[in-house]
Chains A and B, each alone.
Chain A
């Protein structure tokens, strides 16, 4: 069912078994998981089917920490959410990402194995090929040879690319046709109203821009507003709990992270090896693709307590061919290599360890709905600098041993392009600010994504990531939404 909330009567109250706020990857996947179950579901979407300026402006916020993207361009606020502009990179987190690693605050309270069945479903949600990320399998299929880099430090990994699926367009008809799901457009959640005892949500207050105010009452409530908006909503809902909902221990908004991206160097390859598997993308089925890159091995991550990191080979940017290139070529020729005359850029995607000082906070200014705007204080922990240096050094050793090429590290020299390491930027991945932990001191939601201390409120999406590996988050967002769907169905069975 589809409802334009602007047509509702002011002051009305809608009821359902489950109410979901946010029509992005998490909200749509969860609504689809619940659809057909007999449970009534309300899915609130702030925007319409197309972007509009006034709704998008509700995302304006400020950044006071590490340089970050403008918050109103880093995400989209209409049906489908940020899947309307994602690039489709997909890969599950690695099993080690779920573990209690040093500096990772206990890791995830769920394991990779527990999430695996939901990853398989998420794979379909993102319209990918089969759930298989073994690089050799794909290399055989495309009759290509992977570079024999694999050693104790770095190894080849495979990514899959979604078309990319725009969840709003792709699943709109299914949801509109559903008897169980009612999709409400132009419906902005503005307040989570708790019962006086604080451990139970009584209703949500919802507003339309220039339209009616209404409320929704449900048995369970799920925030699927996005990695920045979930903590914003919890913090702003301070009518009963002065610090906000689920925030007695001051955890909401903390541990915000993104995947630091940076140009960390260049590789002058030995053209004896065909680099194309790492520089090309392989078409797989109707619009999906596969690509190879390198990642730190589990063994090295364990040995040195390193976060997850992957490196893709990108065409050289403005830095062009390095000044010392001809000399390095000459050295390579000396050992029988055939330098390729092109220095590829090494583009890093890293994991950021949870940092309590890296936070989503509320600022003083307010948006058109009267909601406090976000003040983002993104802080990347300092050990990452040493870890990146060591990772690139290990890559150089691996590349040298396998006679693949020579590595120029921007982490080891002051002579480098202006946009190279340690300059880094985020991947528009808003992670961890309502992180999952069984210990309320280190997280906002429990293993079932339920907010600690509130019996009927859940979070969905990347804000619940306990740690984030190096993989882009959408596939894991969908897997977690599927898992939450199963949990809610079991609750009401």
Chain B
């Protein structure tokens, strides 16, 4: 097959779309990049007190029709390879700041969910869900 310039550009455009989407994190035909699991475990270690968070996470998960996996949540937050790599290596304080920024952004843009009457940002609720999904970490 002859490779044209147009063909190459088309692949690049499609590829960049895949890289930028959370679905793309799963890989085109296979499982999600294994580093997302590592990243999820890293995120779960951020809070000092996890037991009480877990119950919030469980209530939140129970309210969903489709239960997300831990690596999927991490992939939603850090969808590109560059973001994933940076999140895996940067200081916990910086990582926490990213979660905080996402949380504040949720409140600014009306992305709240209801967990047992608590109006929480979507990021907070999914963060709590991570602790429930990765109990043994």
Q: Are A and B a genuine interacting pair, yes or no? A: yes
Given A335-B103, A401-B104, A401-B107, are A327 and B52 neighbors across the interface (CB < 8 Å)?
Answer: yes
Which of B59, B116, B127 sits near A331, CB closer than 8 Å? B127
Q: Is the beta-carbon distance between B118 and A334 smaller than 8 angstroms?
A: no
Provide the B74-107 mask, 1 if CB < 8 A to any CB of A, else 0.
0000000000000000000000100110011011
Q: How far apart are the CA atoms of A392 and B114 in the complex, in Å?
A: 12
Chain B residues within CB distance 8 Å of chain A: 46-50, 52-56, 59, 96, 99-100, 103-104, 106-108, 110, 112, 114-121, 124, 127-128
- CA–CA, A265 and B117, complex, Å: 9
User: Contact at B104–A324, with CB atoms within 8 Å?
Assistant: no
Q: Which A residues touch B47, using CB under 8 A?
A: 330-331, 333-334
Neighbouring A residues of B110 by C-beta, 8 Å: 397
Q: Which of B59, B107, B114, B118 contacts A397 (CB 8 A)?
A: B107
19 contacts between A and B (CB under 8 A): A324-B52, A324-B56, A324-B59, A327-B128, A329-B52, A330-B52, A330-B53, A334-B46, A334-B99, A334-B127, A397-B107, A400-B107, A401-B104, A406-B118, A406-B119, A412-B114, A415-B116, A415-B117, A416-B117
Residues of B within 8 A of A406 (CB): 118-120
- Closest-by-CB residue of B relative to A410 is B117
Q: 4 nearest interchain CB pairs?
A: A413-B117, A400-B107, A396-B119, A326-B52
Taking CB atoms, residues of chain B closer than 8 Å to A323 are: 116
**A338 proximal to B (CB < 8 A):** no
Q: How far is the CA of A323 from the CA of B96 in the complex (A)?
A: 25
Contact of B49 among A326, A400, A413 (CB under 8 A): A326
Among residues of B, the one whose C-beta sits closest to the C-beta of A336 is: B100
> For residue A393, which residue of chain B has the nearest CB?
B119
In the complex the two chains form, what is the Cα distance from A328 to B103 in whole Å?
A: 13
A24 to chain B, nearest CB (A): 41
Chain A: which residue is nearest B54 at the CB level? Answer: A327
Contact B100 A334 (CB under 8 A): yes
B40 to chain A, nearest CB (A): 15
Query: B106 — which chain A residues lie within 8 A by C-beta?
Result: 400
Using a Cβ–Cβ cut-off of 8 Å, how many residues does chain A contribute to the interface with B? 29
A409 CB to nearest chain B CB (Å):
5
Tell me, in angstroms, the Cα distance from A40 to B47 when the chains sit together. 76
Q: From A400, A403, A408, A412, name the one whose CB has the most chain B CB atoms within 10 angstroms.
A: A400
Question: Smallest distance from the beta carbon of B58 to chain A beta carbons, Å?
Answer: 10
- A335–B99 contact, CB under 8 A? yes
Q: How far is the CA of A406 from the CA of B112 in the complex (A)?
A: 11
Residues of A within 8 A of B118 (CB): 324, 328, 406-409
A327: chain B residues within 8 A (beta carbon): 52-56, 128
A225 to chain B, nearest CB (A): 43
Partner of A413, one of B56, B96, B116, B124: B116
Q: Could you say which of B56, B120, B128 has the most chain A C-beta atoms within 10 Å of its C-beta?
A: B120
Separation of A323 and B56 alpha carbons in the complex (Å): 10
The reply to whether B112 and A397 contact each other, CB–CB distance below 8 Å, is yes
Q: Is A331 within 8 A of B124, CB to CB?
A: yes
In whole Å, how far is A424's beta carbon from the nearest beta carbon of chain B? 17
Determine the distance from Cα of A331 to Cα of B56 in the docked complex, in whole angstroms. 10
**Residues of A close to B103: CB separation below 8 A:** 334-335, 400
Given A329-B52, A392-B119, 8 more contacts at CB 8 Å?
A326-B52, A327-B128, A330-B47, A334-B46, A334-B47, A400-B103, A412-B114, A413-B116
Cβ of B114 and Cβ of A413 under 8 Å apart?
yes
Contact yes or no, B55 A396, CB < 8 A: no
Q: How far is it, in angstroms, between the C-alpha of A208 and the C-alpha of B59 when the chains are bound?
A: 66
- Residue of A with least CB distance to B125: A331
Complex: A170 Cα to B55 Cα, angstroms: 58
Are B114 and A335 interface neighbours, CB within 8 A? Answer: no
Instruction: Give Cα A33–Cα B104 distance, bound, in whole angstroms.
Output: 54
Nearest CB in chain B: distance from A327 CB, A: 4
Q: How far is the CA of A329 from the CA of B104 in the complex (A)?
A: 16
What CA separation (Å) do A330 and B56 show in the bound complex? Answer: 10
Nearest B-chain residue to A398, judged by Cβ = B107
Query: Would you give the shortest CB distance from B49 to chain A, in whole angstroms?
Result: 5
- B114: A residues at CB distance < 8 A: 409, 412-413
B residues in contact with A400, CB < 8 Å: 103-104, 106-107, 112, 119, 121
Q: What B residues does A335 contact at CB under 8 A?
A: 96, 99-100, 103-104, 124
Q: Which residues of A contact B50 (CB under 8 A)?
A: 330
